[in-house]
Structure 1
Amino acid sequence: MTSPRTRWFGLLFISLAVSLIIVDSTIVNVSIPSIIEDLGISSTQVQWVQESYTLVFAALLLVFGALSDRFGRRRLLIIGMVIFVIASVFAGLAQDGSLLIGARVLQGFGGAMILPTTLSLVNANFRGKERGIAFAIWGSTIGGMVAVGPLLGGWLTTDFSWRWAFGINIPLGIIIIIGALLTVVESKESGNLRRIDWVGALLSIVAMGSLVYGLIEGRTYGWWLVNKPFIIGDWKWSLGVSVTPFLFVIFALATTAFILWGRSRIASGKSTLIAFHLFSIASFRNGNVAAMVISLGEFGIILSLPLWLQFVVGYDALQTGFVILALAIGAFMASGLVGGLGSRVSPVRLVQLGILLEIAGVAGVGFSISPTSTWVNVVPWLFVYGLGVGLATAQLTNVILKDVPIQESGQASGTQSTSRQLGSALGIAILGTILFTSAQIQLTNSLTDAGMPTAQVSSTVATVVDSAGGAIVGFAADPATRPIADYAKQAVSDGTRNGAFAAAGFLVLGFLSTLSLGRSHKDEDEHAPTAEVKPAAS
């Protein structure tokens, strides 16, 4: 066994590992305008640069949560970090949008190994009040890194290149690997080892992939009627109806099959990808529902806000990072509030307070957005939003895993992480679609009302939307097309505002879902089975 001091150093490197994968999910946002200019990617590819990472991340969390219980949590953490670092090299060297998206897929693969193992390592190595403190540090790290990512990405993109937004992962990843080997205690499931449910894994991947793909590509291929033919290689979708509704049907069928398959395995005494029996624990069941709905609205604004700040307001990547830094400051301050309020207010109440602050903050951002707004209008609301993110994220994990037996912590943490990531994936897909669809409709109506010919309206709108707003700068530079730039700024502002209001709506649903969490349960650590623990590497 390691000393208590070494255990807390281990938590430092575990938190750094979480920081790296969370930063990577946000650092790209402020770099997107530079990536658009350099690689010429479309607005759909803009979503996929983010979504490919999140989708693979969400789809594989359950698998790696179970594998970490079986083969060792620290071991999978280190393997995942190695994959993540290698993928970052590929992302930094990508020469087109497809290669960048492929590298992001590989990053998601590594990230899916890292996140559930960090959770289960915290759950296995800390007890009682120490566990609450450890989870607060872990959760506050996530909340803070959500905003530190854009600041770091803005600095690297402005002073160096967007490629360094990925290159920074390489030295940090090496430090984390060495630190984990020296200070983190290995742990894994003892007793009878469970077989991995590979069929369940495949069904979960199909379900999540079809849902998110349909949400992102719906505006491209059409929600019902065909806007653009769906083609894979030499094969072309020939039905008169768009492929999108069929993707949603696949999602429904795969989800149903996943549940039925899991129930049949339970009846046969076999293991399942999701520990369905854990849902009999009220805190775990209700907390997962809350986590998914909250995540759906929690970080969606981070996708659209950097585009609006750079293409409409006119800030560069570094200035954009400083604006969003207000969110990080709020999240870090929330960790101090958790320490002061933790002994007097239950974790559930802290989660609810955090969500209410998030609702106020993101709604305030929505009301503040216009083509003439500046950082003064949005920074106070981002600070409030950050306070809420820090409070809610830090305590919700503790609520969800509080009553879970230690030997099942990997599977449980994988499940709750999947709930969060599925919510995040849906949030990016839905809010991104709201942003670009709203901008498209608004700009089409404005240009039509201005008397522009229909053919020119279509090409102009396509130019603005496909560039995710990047074309506005070019239109504004030419006096002849400056009115088009003004219309486009208004359209992108409206789309960003609508996305913010939609995020606030989802957070309201998330708050309502926490009302079923009830009061915190008595700590059952002294009754929980102890996981097998191996000494750390010397």
Structure 2
Amino acid sequence: MTASIRLSSASGRWVLLATVLGSGMAMLDATVVNVALPRIGDEFGASMAGLQWTVNAYTLTLAGLILLGGSLGDRFGRRKIFVIGVVWFAVASALCGAAQDVSMLIAARALQGVGGALLTPGSLAIIQASFRPEDRARAVGAWSGLGGVAGAIGPFLGGWLVEAAGWRWVFLLNIPLAVVVIAVTVRHVPETYDSQTHGKFDVRGAALAALCLAGITYALTMAPEKDTNLALVWGSAIAGVGAGAWFVFTERRRSRPGHDPSAMLPVDVFASKQFTAINVVTFVMYGAMSVVFFLLVLTLQVVAGFKPIAAGTAMLPVTVLMLLFSARSGALAQRIGPRLPITLGVLLAAGGMLLMTRISTHTDYVTVVLPAALVFGAGLTLAVAPLTATVLATADERHAGVASGVNNAVARAAGLLAVAAIPPLAGLTGAAYTNPGDFQHGFRMALLVCAVLMVAAAVLAFTTVRNDALRTAPPSAEPECRINCPVAAPPLEPAHNAPTESEQ
């Protein structure tokens, strides 16, 4: 049986519910945990490095394994791998909620990222493979829009849970959600495969990518800490760089004609200079953005004295703007070209970062935080959808899924490394989050660095992105951010043209 589900049917609504709730769990835990960091630090007596690893352990395994997770779904069944990912994520969430110290929490967060890498690519792939071709665009739009609503509700819910029930419930809430997702998926979601998938899995490539990111992240995070073991830091950095070099060598060799075509990263996707350039822009832009989302919620609680629920919802205007206008931004870029929207959007976002440096003790939300959030959100709304579309437009059509996966992984890796490096460079080390004055100074320095990075991204976009990229784009380059573009990373785009075999 081929993809034949109608969006308007009961089956279509069940499939949509399962994929939205499943991907929503992973998306929420990538963002709402920031709201709980001050309470986690207080309970465990954690350092800034501990709080950084609470965020980065999840991002590390998610970024390193997300491409492998998509390949596993194509080979063994998208529903099967999706369900395994949801179960894995729920068990890891329970471990997070039961953590007795920050080390246990970090380990459980790393396990959560593995579950996220299994379920995240599967959610959109299930939609693409299950719905009739004429219904797929609307199904993806509904999935994106409902995901955006979940993104808007998540920080509010996270703040309320932290304040009313304790930070552990930010993780424990995933368990009943997972039960619903599993029940709906097993009963209502058809199994689909990619019948053309063959060859070995690139487990070595995934492991080397994860080791590269882990080694470099550890070195960047721990080097500025007092009493750190410099030999271990240098050893970690060297091991990370070495793993990265081995990864590039391995992928180049596996991608050559006559070799196994299952390379996690086919190097010929970088034959397009435009594709390479837009990924450099993505790396710089998402690195700076990730630092803002990590530090802002902390700053509002530590420096400005906001309650968790108020700090969690402070950036709600960003989500609302992207929900309302991302599709129009993508349409504008298709008419006039992506160069100007991306450039102006990134500069606007930099301006929003500079406005955030005004946050201080007893800051008023309406006069200080809200204007910064609106300017920052307007910039992301203008830039993210054209950036996503340009990634797909500048890669060969047969590489649409790989190109999107690479861009998603680049964004997540950028956030991982930037959150590891920039706060310590700005002086946010040790117990800085317990001292409002020190944290305010470090926050301002970090945002100045991020604003400079955004200006650099704007210059790169203006000088390297061609305006005709979208005018000659293949159908696969249509922006998937039809309603909302996530800010944690660009959306994943599974291959449209791969034949599928479906079985109930």
Q: Same fold (TM over 0.5)?
A: yes
Cα distance in 1 for residues equivalent to 2:79 and 2:344: 34
Distance 1:122 1:294, change over 3 A: farther
Structure 1 residues 10-25: aligned runs within 5 Å: 10-11=15-16, 13-25=18-30
Q: What percent identity do the matched residue pairs reach?
A: 29
Q: Where does the alignment leave 5 or more consecutive residues of structure 1 unmatched?
A: 221-226, 231-240, 440-464, 471-487
Structure 1 residues 114-513: aligned runs within 5 Å: 114-121=119-126, 148-181=153-186, 186-191=191-196, 193-220=198-225, 227-228=226-227, 230=229, 242-267=231-256, 268-271=258-261, 272-281=263-272, 284-335=275-326, 337-338=328-329, 341=332, 344=335, 346=337, 350-366=341-357, 368-376=358-366, 377-402=368-393, 411-435=402-426, 437=427, 439=428, 466-470=430-434, 488-513=435-460
Give the AA of the match of 1:466. G
Contact 1:330 1:385 in 2 (8 A): no
Give the AA of the match of 1:382. A
- CA shift at 1:212, angstroms? 0.8
Q: CA RMSD in A?
A: 3.3
Cα distance in 1 for residues equivalent to 2:127 and 2:386: 14
Paired residue secondary structure (1:300): helix
Cα distance in 2 for residues equivalent to 1:410 and 1:67: 14
Which range moved further: 85-94 or 337-346?
A: 337-346
Paired residue secondary structure (1:188): strand
Give the AA of the match of 2:35. V
Paired residue secondary structure (2:260): coil
Equivalent position to 1:2, from 5, 14, 27:
5
Aligned to 2:486: none
Deviations 1:484-526 (A, max 9, x none): xxxx433211111112222222222333343433221332569
**Corresponding residue pairs, total:** 475
Cα distance in 2 for residues equivalent to 1:279 and 1:5: 40
Distance 1:140 1:5, change over 3 A: closer
Give the AA of the match of 1:208. L
Aligned to 2:480: none
Distance 1:356 1:522, change over 3 A: same
Deviations 1:101-125 (A, max 9, x none): 1211110110111223335446666
Distance 1:15 1:25, change over 3 A: same
Is 1:110–2:58 an aligned residue pair?
Answer: no
- CA shift at 1:64, angstroms? 1.6
Aligned to 2:84: 79
Distance 1:70 1:54, change over 3 A: same
- CA shift at 1:156, angstroms? 0.6
Cα distance in 2 for residues equivalent to 1:127 and 1:208: 39
Aligned to 1:29: 34
Cα distance in 2 for residues equivalent to 1:143 and 1:4: 19
Contact 1:137 1:394 in 2 (8 A): no
Paired residue secondary structure (2:182): helix
Contact 2:78 2:193 in 1 (8 A): yes
Cα distance in 1 for residues equivalent to 2:452 and 2:33: 25
Paired residue secondary structure (2:259): coil
Contact 1:148 1:328 in 2 (8 A): no
Cα distance in 1 for residues equivalent to 2:134 and 2:329: 13
Distance 1:266 1:509, change over 3 A: same
Aligned to 2:492: none
Which range moved further: 55-64 or 126-135?
A: 126-135
Contact 2:196 2:498 in 1 (8 A): no
Distance 1:2 1:416, change over 3 A: same
Aligned to 2:65: 60
Cα distance in 2 for residues equivalent to 1:495 and 1:263: 41
Contact 2:284 2:454 in 1 (8 A): yes
Cα distance in 2 for residues equivalent to 1:168 and 1:297: 30
- CA shift at 1:360, angstroms? 2.1
Which range moved further: 175-184 or 21-30?
A: 175-184
Which range moved further: 159-168 or 354-363?
A: 354-363
Distance 1:416 1:65, change over 3 A: farther
Distance 1:125 1:363, change over 3 A: farther
- CA shift at 1:381, angstroms? 1.1
Equivalent position to 1:517, from 440, 448, 465:
465
Distance 1:269 1:340, change over 3 A: closer
Aligned to 1:455: none
Paired residue secondary structure (1:359): helix
Give the AA of the match of 2:110. V
Which range moved further: 196-205 or 169-178?
A: 169-178
Paired residue secondary structure (1:243): helix
- CA shift at 1:352, angstroms? 4.2
Contact 2:206 2:264 in 1 (8 A): yes
Q: TM-score, normalised by structure 1?
A: 0.78
- CA shift at 1:315, angstroms? 1.8
Deviations 1:365-402 (A, max 9, x none): 12x22335332311221122223334444443343235
Paired residue secondary structure (1:67): helix
Paired residue secondary structure (2:166): coil
Q: TM-score, normalised by structure 2?
A: 0.83
Paired residue secondary structure (1:530): coil
Give the AA of the match of 2:66. L
Cα distance in 2 for residues equivalent to 1:341 and 1:129: 24
Deviations 1:285-342 (A, max 9, x none): 4443332222111121121122221122112211212323233333323346448747
Deviations 1:391-437 (A, max 9, x none): 444443343235767876554443222111101101211233234x2
- CA shift at 1:145, angstroms? 5.5
- CA shift at 1:351, angstroms? 4.2
Distance 1:318 1:287, change over 3 A: same
| Higher Rg | 1
